[in-house]
Structure 1
Amino acid sequence: MATLSELLPIEAVRLDAPATDWREAVRAAGDLMAATGTSTGEYTAEMIENVERNGPYIVIAPGFALAHARPSPAVLRTGMSWVRLESPVEFGHESNDPVTLVVGLAAKDPGAHQAAMAGLARLLADPAVEQALRDAPTAAALRAVLDGEHGPHGSREEHGERDGQGEPKSAGGGPAVHKILTVCGNGLGTSLFLKNTLEQVLERWGWTRFVTVEATDTISAKGKAAEAVAILTSREIARTLTDVSVPVRVVEDFTSTAEVERTLRNTYDV
């Protein structure tokens, strides 16, 4: 699987880009991917249509939007772009507006970008690294931060192991293997980002043997809900999942292990 550095060439980074609204911001991300051979202009239109159809669920953290759409013939290869806006714009998100950073993602298939999403999730969960990315004066400086040259990575919360969580139980009282679904409109972008953050919490708790996480889209989630103990998703996507048989938990900040941990505690009553 490709890394973040492999999917984001320096030519696909633009800092202090002008945009008067969210459509122009997404278009700026799409134009960079088109210019670097990742996708065509049609994919840019598809990213905009995704927000028009599903709402601003792509704004997955305060000030941060992950612009993407489904794999299509308009995607030439898996790749990314990075747009830091000159002035913040509103996407219409209830808690994470306004947006100053738009990362574009075009996926040729479901798996090629998983390592890149995991790396980006961990970087943005570190407040020092996040600030360094926001303050980078040049594209080269930003790439240096993405390549790990900022210094040791921490997290938005402490790295230390957490004790006393116990473990999830089956109906018979013994350890169980449970599934949690993370869901977005397309199953390839924001749901994968949330999956990575949730897996960080499970790893910290020592629960990776007992709970698996699957990133999926809204259509597939309805069919897979019976296999899961809970669904984690954005507020916008949660509104489309009112007919599933398992709890649907809303996460506002997909980069916050603290918020995801609270959601997990609520799900398992620990």
Structure 2
Amino acid sequence: MTALTTLLSPTAVRLGVHSRDWRAAIRAAGQALVDVGVSTADYTTEMIANVEENGPYIVIAPGLAFAHARPSPAVLRTGMSWIRLHEPVPFGHDTNDPVSLVVALAATDSSAHTEAMAALARSLSDPATATALEQASSAAEVLALLDGDAAPAAPTMPAARATPTARATPAARATPAAGAASHHKILTVCGNGVGTSLFLKNTLEQVLDRWGWSRHVSVEATDTISAKGKASEAVAILTSREIARTLGDVGVPVKVVEDFTSAAEVDSVLRDTYRV
């Protein structure tokens, strides 16, 4: 078992679930968490309230919603559920509707599940694995794919310049880390800092690894409130359209990413940020 499948009980994987709307879809995902002892029903209410307050930013890729809320007493232990809908339902997202898969996360803190999120981001960003997950006919098959069984390697991305510099873009301010004049930070931001921002962080880090920039650019996942205070430390913020509207003008470029699982889109956004 991997860090990812350790958090996902077979009984929390449910395929062919009927839901009339997005609230029902999240309730189904929340009920699966309740049934395996991950959370109470209050957490399901909190996940729905998160979308009502912040908009459908949890729809992080075409057909995929990553439901979550802040750590709270309603979370009994860190865990996940996997709900594939019988018929897709709209969440109100401009580009990624309708949703056919709802993955729900309940976390006791903001860091215990980072390795699992990295593994999930890698799985869903690989087209062949994503297609196989869509076609899986059982919970055992889903878990095997998430464990990496027969998962193909991700395609390589074109390389970029070896080192980012402050001259790369006038819009991107360089705020170097102590003792490292060439070190930059990029923030990935979501409403709560524990779910979708980690997804985007992991995709961005994959791209930075392929570019050979990982030692020059660090990525921090955070929430909207913290991001406003940390913006001065960053050269850019990557986030969803809904969260970008919430952030407003924070003094650094705020870049919108529609598909958080797409290395190609994140690559393009990074190239635009650094003018490469």
Instruction: Report the Cα distance in structure 1 between the residues aligned to 2:131 and 2:212, rounded to whole angstroms.
Output: 30
1:173-212 counterparts in 2 under 5 A? 176-212=182-218
Shift of 1:153: 2.6
Identity score, percent: 65
Residue in structure 2 matched with residue 217 of structure 1 by the alignment: 223
Partner of 1:166: 162
Partner of 1:111: 111
**SS of 2:237's equivalent?**
strand
TM-score by length of 1: 0.95
| Rounded Cα–Cα distance in structure 2 between residues aligned with 1:163 and 1:10 | 39
When the two structures are aligned, how many residues end up with a matched partner? 264
Distance 2:243 2:249 in 1: 12
User: SS at the partner of 1:128?
Assistant: helix
Instruction: State the one-letter code of the partner of 1:253.
Output: D
**4+ residue runs of structure 1 moved beyond 3 angstroms?**
none
SS of 1:12's partner is: strand
> Does the 8 A contact of 2:129 with 2:152 survive in 1?
yes
Secondary structure, in 3 states, of the residue corresponding to 2:85? Answer: strand
Q: 1:243 to 1:146 in 2, by over 3 A?
A: same
1:121 corresponds to: 121
For the 8 Å contact 2:128–2:151, the answer to whether it is kept is no
2:247 equivalent to 1:251 = no
Q: Give the TM-score taking structure 2 as reference length.
A: 0.93
Change (3 A) 1:163 1:243: closer
CA distance in 2: counterparts of 1:170 and 1:123, whole angstroms: 34
Structure 2 residue ranges without an equivalent (≥5): 168-173, 175-179
Deviation at residue 164 of structure 1 after TM alignment:
4.5
What's the RMSD between the two structures over aligned residues?
1.4
1:268 aligned partner: 274
Moved more, 111-120 or 138-147: 138-147
**Whole-angstrom distance in 2 between the partners of 1:69 and 1:35:** 18
Unaligned runs of 5+ in 1: none
Distance in 1 (CA, whole Å) between partners of 2:151 and 2:247 is 39
